[in-house]
Structure 1
Amino acid sequence: MEARSLGSGSISGVRLLAGGTQNILLRFHRGPSEFVLRRPPPVLRAGSNETMRREMRVLEALRGSDVPHPGFIAGSSDETILGAAFYLMQPVDGFNPMSGLPALHAREPLLRRRMGLAVVGAIAALGALDYRAVGLADFGKPENFLERQVGRWRRQLESYADLAGWPGPGAIPGVDAVAAWLDRHRPSSFQPGIIHGDAHLANVMIRPDSGELAALVDWELSTIGDPLLDLGWLIATWPTDGSSFATDAMANQLTDLASPADLAAHYAASSGRDLAALDWYIVLACYKLGIILEGSFARACAGKAPRETGERLHAHTLALFERALSIIR
């Protein structure tokens, strides 16, 4: 920070921000200026540093766009400074709806409905960006993106066998049936664009004075692919659609949200994309996210993550696959 003239004086007011189970967020002051530091966890996972580098790159590319995102300040790929790659971003003035609603949003159903539509508007705007024009031509491999998905994530699931104590893929009922259905019903073509990769209500910040989006956060799964996967992901995890990631208390607060049909209709109107195969993208989202969350359970089984967190995420994995099975049946 000193070398780049970022603030002045000593660091103060350091606090850990809640949210996520993988990476670390610290908010702090340096002089009158406020910053947020993002870095991987103390025990690095395979690819942790590359993930930070990719996040830096996509946030830099989004600068000046109409996609709500945290403002990128500076970062470093030098792992010797903190033991991992890291970056600094601007604080976001907003709240996460999965952590609790402020009084205004708790009493105004129209604001709660608007939250979901605002998230849809953001992912539609993201998918509409010309990824080549913003410097992300080599950020992903859109060729055969859909064809690669099932095999890529099945290999990820099988890799967890290296973690002692994990019971194996058999602990997830329906994993083979879902994979086979996805291969049989895969769309034949798509229009590539930037995808967030983890678009759900836990990864958004809502403005405190309205139902509008302050930022999409946690960009670690972003790539170039089929933007319809972001919509499928949002619907697969939507609190009112049988696969809530919210606690019972939050589920009681998150009433009067836009329905999944409302989300789809708003996306279609905002993006102009064909949603005829939307169920396929919802099922793929369940498959991919379920396997990602199972990784935390596998690490917990091996003593490399908190057991309580692992068990909670394993329960989400089972719910996601049950959701997928209910669609393909």
Structure 2
Amino acid sequence: MPSAVVQPEWLDVRLVDVAAVQRWGVAAGLPDAPIEDVRRIGGGTQNVVLRLAWGDRDLVLRRPPEHLRTSSNTALRREMRVLAALAGSDVPHPSLVAGCDDEAVLGGAVFYLMEAVDGSNPGDSLSALYRGSSMARHAAALDTAAALARLAAVDHEAVGLGGLGRPDGFLARQVPRWLDLLASYGQPSGAGLPHIDALAEWLTAHMPTGSRPGIVHGDYHLNNVLLDDESPRVAAIVDWEMCTIGDPLLDLGWLLVTWPGGGGNPVTGDAIATLGGLPGPDELIAHYAARSDRDLSAIGWYTVLAGLKLAIVIEGTHVRALAGKADLTTGRRLHDAAVDLLDRAAAIAGV
């Protein structure tokens, strides 16, 4: 029998049953040791992320949101697969410890355990290294582009991710796919987003040709990286639930359209942006280009697509908030951010 565990009073057993997690873990080969110091940590608005001590190991548990959607478990399974595939690569990422594909363990949700990564989240709080040095902030910010170039260089076929997505026609599918998602939200939420039709027309008319497939993180921005607290670099890229195989330049566009300093409602990186010293978009592009053989001549197009896509994705939280399935304050904040993203995209496209 595994060691006895105590369910934290604040943690709903229907969300994460700690005893059930321990029983599964011991059966999966983890040590028969107490699970202690369980605490919730930031992990975006979509998933439940817990940090815990499993014996002498510092781990993180990640499961889908409380209100499961049809794609929730599929997304977590994708994360497990990607993290396992990246083991041994030069892409900074949390190491996968074990994944639970059995939905019965947590009442319908799959989940996984990964090694905890200590570091600063640029959107939340920063260590003394970054608070005290604009040079460190600048260097670490540039490394977000370098880390992305390393991800784009991974041979997805060689690491076993050949079937993760459908790279053929990836760019052509983007606009219809995200417009369909927006339409599925219904009224009145979608009606409050500007520039949608004009951006869709511009993107369709200016789509690049001949893109080379690779791993796409799908949600790459400052709030989804952890910066090393000892040296100015990216310690880990996190939140892989939107990962696929497609055109990796969409990730660079995503980083650019969410980059602090674009005016309006801040999208990401509040903590580091407040202190300043960040490189501008042109410097990020040059830093990426120096480490990649990809053609960046159409990077404006990818940035516009990223703005449209991310705006529609985060508007989904607003929709769920209006339905009582997410925090209303968070939903309204993300709606404002979606409007700002679309304004930025329209300015780049000139529509």
Q: Normalising to structure 1: TM-score of the pair? A: 0.96
Q: Find the counterpart in structure 2 of residue 43 from structure 1.
A: 67
Supply the distance in 2 between the matched residues of 1:237 and 1:221 (Cα, whole angstroms). 16
Q: Find the counterpart in structure 1 of residue 15 from structure 2.
A: none
User: Among residues 87, 99, 110, which one is paired with 1:75 in the alignment?
Assistant: 99
- CA shift, 1:205, in A, is 0.3
SS in 2 for 1:320: helix
Q: Find the counterpart in structure 1 of residue 273 from structure 2.
A: 251
Residues 1:280 and 2:304 aligned together: no
Per-residue CA distance 1:77-106 (angstroms, 9 max, x = gap): 111001201000000021101112222211
Q: Find the counterpart in structure 2 of residue 158 from structure 1.
A: 183
- CA shift, 1:170, in A, is 2.0
Supply the distance in 1 between the matched residues of 2:319 and 2:346 (Cα, whole angstroms). 23
- CA shift, 1:319, in A, is 0.1
Per-residue CA distance 1:204-263 (angstroms, 9 max, x = gap): 00000111111000001110000100100000000123363258765322x111111110
Residues 1:7 and 2:39 aligned together: no
Supply the distance in 2 between the matched residues of 1:233 and 1:5 (Cα, whole angstroms). 38
Compared CA separation, residues 248 and 132, structure 1 to 2 (3 A): closer
Residues 1:31 and 2:55 aligned together: yes
- CA shift, 1:9, in A, is 2.0
- CA shift, 1:35, in A, is 1.2
Q: Find the counterpart in structure 2 of residue 22 from structure 1.
A: 46
- CA shift, 1:276, in A, is 0.7
Q: Find the counterpart in structure 2 of residue 94 from structure 1.
A: 119
SS in 1 for 2:290: helix
1:46-65 equivalent positions in 2, closer than 5 A = 46-65=70-89
* RMSD of Structure 2 on Structure 1 (CA): 1.3
Supply the distance in 1 between the matched residues of 2:232 and 2:222 (Cα, whole angstroms). 13
Residues 1:149 and 2:174 aligned together: yes
Supply the distance in 2 between the matched residues of 1:291 and 1:209 (Cα, whole angstroms). 37
Q: Find the counterpart in structure 2 of residue 202 from structure 1.
A: 223
1:310-321 equivalent positions in 2, closer than 5 A = 310-321=331-342
- CA shift, 1:46, in A, is 2.3
Supply the distance in 2 between the matched residues of 1:247 and 1:262 (Cα, whole angstroms). 17
Per-residue CA distance 1:157-201 (angstroms, 9 max, x = gap): 11112xxxx414321111111111000000012011001111100
- CA shift, 1:265, in A, is 0.2
- CA shift, 1:19, in A, is 3.4
- CA shift, 1:67, in A, is 0.1
- Structure with a larger share of its residues in helix: 1
Supply the distance in 1 between the matched residues of 2:97 and 2:115 (Cα, whole angstroms). 7
Compared CA separation, residues 247 and 276, structure 1 to 2 (3 A): closer
Per-residue CA distance 1:115-139 (angstroms, 9 max, x = gap): 1211111111111111000001100
Compared CA separation, residues 327 and 124, structure 1 to 2 (3 A): same
Query: How many equivalent residue pairs?
Result: 324
User: Among residues 132, 135, 138, which one is paired with 2:160 in the alignment?
Assistant: 135
Q: Give unmatched runs, 5+ long, in structure 1.
A: none
Contact 1:156–1:291 under 8 Å retained in 2: yes
Compared CA separation, residues 292 and 147, structure 1 to 2 (3 A): same
Contact 2:36–2:54 under 8 Å retained in 1: yes
Residues 1:123 and 2:148 aligned together: yes
1:233-244 equivalent positions in 2, closer than 5 A = 233-242=254-263, 244=266
SS in 2 for 1:29: strand
Is the deviation greater in 297-306 or in 149-158?
Answer: 297-306
One-letter code of the match for 2:184? S
SS in 1 for 2:105: helix
SS in 1 for 2:36: strand
Supply the distance in 1 between the matched residues of 2:149 and 2:28 (Cα, whole angstroms). 35
Q: Normalising to structure 2: TM-score of the pair? A: 0.90
One-letter code of the match for 2:172? E
Compared CA separation, residues 322 and 28, structure 1 to 2 (3 A): same
One-letter code of the match for 1:221? M
